Structure 1
Amino acid sequence: MTLISINVGFPREIIHGGRAVSTGIFKVPVAGPVWLGRLSLVGDGQADLRVHGGADKAVYVYPFEHYAFWAGELGRNDFSHGQFGENFTTEGLLEDEVSIGDVFRIGVARVQVTQPRTPCFKLGIRMGDENFPTRFVTANRTGFYLRVLEEGMVKAGDTIDRVERAIDSMSVCDMFHLRHVGGTRAEYEHAARLPGLSPSWCAAFEKRLTEK
């Protein structure tokens, strides 16, 4: 498993639908080592901190394997690393093989998988297609977020080692399906109690349980 590219970018203001929108989704690759702190990479930022960023979403990971899928689906060949707003473009970390709570070593940093990514309209802006977020959800090729357990320097080319596999957890792929498609009460109860899952996703499943 490999960290192919580190991508960062501060929020910028663009005009969308006749109004100004601030977004940090435009990420570009950087060369050399980058400091990974508890809340973000140096040189990176998010526009709307109510729904982006924070300790449980310090880093967004997207598998490079999906680039070929989307190139075929969209008939495009103009993708660059960071295309989907990801901080880490990786190889060998697919959503059906990575579980909530798994811990990885990247460079000297240690990180933990916290939740899948649910796209907002800004991904559509980045892709130049307002319908793309819906296609992204349907494909369940979401990528996932990391919390930083130990800060440190990371760089493109670093090996990614799984140092702890979460016990009795759920894959990123299954977790996304459970929230956005649905499942049983037992599955909601199980998901809500996973120790590695971000508090916001735990709360969403707890709410489902009160509605059933």
Structure 2
Amino acid sequence: MKIISTNIGKRKEIDYKGTLVTTGIFKYSVDKPIFLDIEDVKDDAICDRENHGGVFQAVYGYSLKHYEYWNTVFPKVDFEMGIFGENLTIDDIEETKIHAGDTFKVGETILEATLHREPCYKLGVRFNNMTIVKKFWKTTFCGVYFKVLQTGFVKAGDEFIKIKSCPENPTIADLFVAKRILNGIS
């Protein structure tokens, strides 16, 4: 696995169907290394600290391979890197194979897989289509949140090198599906 794109976003206020929404989901690719800190990515806006950022959700990674699927579902969307709100677009990160606790050396950092991403209405705002939220829940393409065990810079081209495996723990996809069931989403 390797980083294809590093993405950050600025705080943005948009009018979505008559409601003012403040969000940091509008990420864009940057051509320089980004700094992964203990609770967030430096210079990346987090507008809802209750649900994003923090030690267990400091960095969000999403698979470029999943873009192929979503492009068939939403063919009119411009799928630029970072559209899912991810900080790291990774060539092939598979939620069904990554376990909570798996640890990776990436650039100057050490990252630990912690959680799945739960889609909220802001993903619908980003897509300008709220159906993405329900469709997202019906896949296992949730992406991976990481805890930063060692801070530092990462950049496009950096490899994800697994340094610790935790097969005794649930996969990120298992956690996502369990949350979907718990929430009664069908």
Offset from partner CA, 1:179-210 (integer Å, 9 cap, x none): 2125xxxxxxxxxxxxxxxxxxxxx9xxxxxx
The structure whose RCO (Cα within 8 Å, separation 6+) is larger is 2
2:61 partner letter: V
**Distance in 1 between residues matched to 2:64 and 2:76, nearest whole Å:** 15
User: Offset of 1:77 from its aligned partner?
Assistant: 6.0
- Report matched runs for 1:95-114 at 5 Å: 95-114=95-114
Higher strand share: 2
Q: Does 1:33 align with 2:25?
A: no
1:108 partner letter: E
Conserved? CA contact 2:8–2:28, under 8 Å: yes
Conserved? CA contact 2:99–2:167, under 8 Å: no
CA RMSD of aligned residues (A): 1.4
User: Offset of 1:97 from its aligned partner?
Assistant: 1.1
TM-score (norm 2): 0.94
**Distance in 2 between residues matched to 1:19 and 1:93, nearest whole Å:** 35
Task: Identify the residue that residue 180 of structure 1 maps to in structure 2.
Answer: 180
**Distance in 2 between residues matched to 1:14 and 1:125, nearest whole Å:** 9
User: Offset of 1:131 from its aligned partner?
Assistant: 1.5
User: Offset of 1:167 from its aligned partner?
Assistant: 4.1
Conserved? CA contact 2:81–2:89, under 8 Å: yes
Task: Identify the residue that residue 46 of structure 1 maps to in structure 2.
Answer: 46
Task: Identify the residue that residue 14 of structure 1 maps to in structure 2.
Answer: 14
Task: Identify the residue that residue 86 of structure 2 maps to in structure 1.
Answer: 86
SS where residue 177 of structure 1 aligns? helix
User: Offset of 1:75 from its aligned partner?
Assistant: 2.0
Q: Does 1:133 align with 2:103?
A: no
User: Offset of 1:98 from its aligned partner?
Assistant: 0.7
Higher helix share: 1
**Distance in 2 between residues matched to 1:114 and 1:10, nearest whole Å:** 25
Conserved? CA contact 2:77–2:127, under 8 Å: no
Task: Identify the residue that residue 187 of structure 1 maps to in structure 2.
Answer: none
Runs of 4+ with deviation above 6 angstroms? none
SS where residue 15 of structure 2 aligns? strand
Task: Identify the residue that residue 69 of structure 1 maps to in structure 2.
Answer: 69
Conserved? CA contact 2:4–2:156, under 8 Å: yes
Mean CA deviation greater in 148-157 or 16-25: 16-25
Task: Identify the residue that residue 193 of structure 1 maps to in structure 2.
Answer: none
Report percent identity of matched pairs.
34
For structure 2, which runs of at least 5 residues remain unmatched after alignment? none
SS where residue 174 of structure 2 aligns? helix
Conserved? CA contact 2:111–2:146, under 8 Å: yes
**Distance in 2 between residues matched to 1:148 and 1:38, nearest whole Å:** 5
2:134 partner letter: T
